[in-house]
């Protein structure tokens, strides 16, 4: 049986302070779930800049198609999110549902339609009962509050076992700014109830182009460096909103030295949220950090890392607490990136297990086996051909994953 709460969950949901220009509300609309909030409205102050990263899936959901269009304007007044139904593979009916939610929200907030974003996560191929959402919007607006971050994080959950949130502060030219974020994930990135959605907001004043560049960079080492089962959702959505209400000096571009602290804080928050998604990976019992070095490029290193992270044989070995480095060699080999078999070295838990294409001289499995019994597993692989390095994160593959995914709909 899968545990009620992931054994890798953080101790508690962090205290998220208010972010000027951002208010939230949630409601129980019965989209699919009973007796829990399943819709969330995030209101953004006029003039808020919005950047986004969306799924690469060729069968993207209706909300993703809409967000792709709205992001061209780069401005946002609201985000409406529901759990329980992904509004994916619903054809023109699904697009019409999005239109009705967007139109009703825009009317209510006196916004343009392209300033309203939507996110949906849940079952695929069923009509979204959008009338349940639109009927709730007026009440949601009335309940908007700067403090409802935890409720929002809970409302967007599906098979997640805990709500995910993070907060950071930074200074831009001496003026303090706040960044808050929430996420839901679980099976990364499962199509049913485990799409990855994340919404991040700050009061910093950052031009849209700069915001988009920062988000793209931050995603590379966070949400794009994690995997649970290698599957790609039709609905993955990450939005970054900047209300611009903090009264700091103007920033010029993503490389502006004034943004140094903000950039670091943002990247750290994104990584934190991404890790929380992995820690709630379906059936996860171990959190695995895979650091690859010696590749021809950072991109090659990441591909090798993801090849290891997605290998069912590596993941089951970790679940079985077996320091089976042969499977790591296999996964390096199948990545299709350049690697020198005779220079390959592998460390597990900081202990050298293989060097120069062979088992390390005098290799003693005892301390490595001890490391494998822990909850935090570290793998380091140097493929010996260059200077490219990247780190990716994943979890193990356990019986609970099968329980959750073989029995989920029934």
- Judged by CB under 8 A, the chain residues 125 through 164 that form the site for a copy of itself are 125-126
User: From the list 230, 298, 352, 378, which residue makes contact with a copy of itself (rule: CB under 8 A)?
Assistant: 230
Q: Smaller CB distance to a copy of itself: residue 33 or 363?
A: 363
Does the annotation mark 195 as catalytic? yes
Whether 254 contacts 214, CB under 8 Å: yes
Q: What is the DSSP letter of 226?
A: B
Q: With CB under 8 A, what is the number of residues at the site for a copy of itself?
A: 69
Q: Does 366 bind a copy of itself (CB under 8 A)?
A: no
Q: Smaller CB distance to a copy of itself: residue 47 or 230?
A: 230
User: From the list 273, 325, 379, 394, which residue makes contact with a copy of itself (rule: CB under 8 A)?
Assistant: 325
Q: Does 256 bind a copy of itself (CB under 8 A)?
A: no
Q: Does 331 bind a copy of itself (CB under 8 A)?
A: yes
User: From the list 317, 348, 368, 377, which residue makes contact with a copy of itself (rule: CB under 8 A)?
Assistant: 317
Pairing of strands 197-202, 175-184: antiparallel
- Smallest distance, Å, CB 7 to a copy of itself? 16
DSSP H or E stretch at residue 403? helix 399-406
Of the candidates 332, 329, 335, 331, which has an alpha carbon nearest to the alpha carbon of residue 358? 329
- Judged by CB under 8 A, the chain residues 90 through 129 that form the site for a copy of itself are 90-91, 93, 123-126
Q: Smaller CB distance to a copy of itself: residue 265 or 317?
A: 317
CA angle 288, 280, 302 (to 5 degrees): 40
User: Which positions ≥6 away from 99 have C-beta within 8 Å?
Assistant: none
The side-by-side arrangement of strands in the sheet containing 287-295 is 358-359, 351-355, 345-348, 376-382, 287-295, 388-395
Whether 197 contacts 287, CB under 8 Å: no
Is-cis flag, bond preceding 189, omega within 30? yes
Q: Does 401 bind a copy of itself (CB under 8 A)?
A: yes
Q: Smaller CB distance to a copy of itself: residue 126 or 145?
A: 126
Question: What tokens appear for 296 in the block?
Answer: 């021809």
Q: Does 341 bind a copy of itself (CB under 8 A)?
A: yes
For the beta carbon of residue 15, count every other beta carbon within 10 angstroms: 10
User: From the list 41, 67, 88, 211, which residue makes contact with a copy of itself (rule: CB under 8 A)?
Assistant: 88
CA angle 81, 151, 138 (to 5 degrees): 55
Rg of the chain over all Cα atoms, to the nearest angstrom: 22
x/- mask, a copy of itself, residues 18-37, rule CB under 8 A, reads --------------------
* Residue in 48, 161, 195, 394 annotated catalytic: 195
Q: Which stretch binds a copy of itself (CB under 8 A): 146-154, 215-223, 257-265, 340-348?
A: 340-348
For the beta carbon of residue 72, count every other beta carbon within 10 angstroms: 7
Binding stretches for a copy of itself (CB under 8 A) = 55-60, 86, 88-91, 93, 123-126, 187, 190-192, 229-234, 310-313, 316-317, 319-320, 322, 324-327, 329-339, 341-342, 344, 354, 356-359, 397-399, 401-402, 405-410
């Amino acid at each position: 049986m899968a545990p009620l709460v992931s054994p890798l969950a953080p101790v508690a949901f962090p205290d998220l302070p208010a972010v000027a220009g951002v208010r939230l509300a949630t409601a129980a609309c019965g989209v699919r779930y009973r007796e829990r909030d399943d819709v969330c409205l995030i209101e953004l102050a006029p003039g808020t800049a919005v950047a986004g990263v969306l799924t690469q899936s060729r069968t993207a959901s209706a909300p993703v198609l809409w967000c792709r269009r709205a992001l061209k304007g780069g401005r946002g007044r609201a985000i409406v999110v529901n759990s329980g139904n992904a509004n994916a593979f619903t054809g023109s009916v699904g697009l019409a549902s999005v239109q009705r939610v967007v139109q009703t929200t825009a009317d209510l907030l006196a916004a343009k339609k392209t300033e309203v974003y939507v996110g949906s996560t849940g079952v695929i191929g069923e009509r979204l009962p959008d009338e349940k959402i639109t009927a709730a919007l007026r009440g949601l607006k009335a309940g908007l509050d700067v403090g409802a971050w935890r409720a929002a994080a809970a409302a967007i959950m599906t098979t997640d076992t805990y709500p995910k949130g993070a907060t950071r502060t930074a200074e831009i030219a001496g003026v303090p700014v706040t960044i808050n974020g929430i996420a839901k994930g679980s099976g990364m990135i499962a199509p049913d109830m485990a799409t990855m959605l994340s919404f991040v907001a700050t009061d910093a004043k950052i031009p849209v182009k700069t915001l988009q560049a920062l988000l793209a960079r931050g995603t590379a080492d966070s949400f794009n460096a994690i995997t649970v089962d290698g599957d790609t959702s039709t609905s993955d959505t990450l939005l970054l909103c900047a209300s611009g209400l903090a009264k700091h000096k103007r920033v010029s571009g993503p490389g502006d030295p004034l943004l140094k602290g903000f950039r670091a804080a943002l990247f750290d928050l994104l990584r934190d949220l991404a890790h929380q998604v992995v820690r709630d990976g379906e059936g996860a019992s171990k959190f695995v950090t895979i650091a690859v070095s010696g590749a021809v490029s950072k991109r090659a290193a990441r591909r090798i890392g993801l090849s290891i992270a997605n290998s069912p044989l590596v993941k089951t070995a970790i679940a079985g607490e077996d320091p089976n480095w042969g499977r790591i060699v296999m996964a390096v080999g199948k990545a299709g990136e350049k690697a020198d078999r005779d220079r390959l070295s592998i460390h597990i838990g900081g202990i050298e297990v293989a060097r120069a294409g062979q088992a390390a001289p005098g290799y003693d499995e005892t301390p490595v086996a001890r490391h494998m019994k822990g909850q935090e597993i570290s793998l380091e692989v140097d493929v010996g051909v260059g200077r490219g390095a990247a780190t990716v994160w994943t979890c193990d593959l356990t019986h609970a994953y099968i329980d959750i995914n073989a029995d989920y709909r029934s």
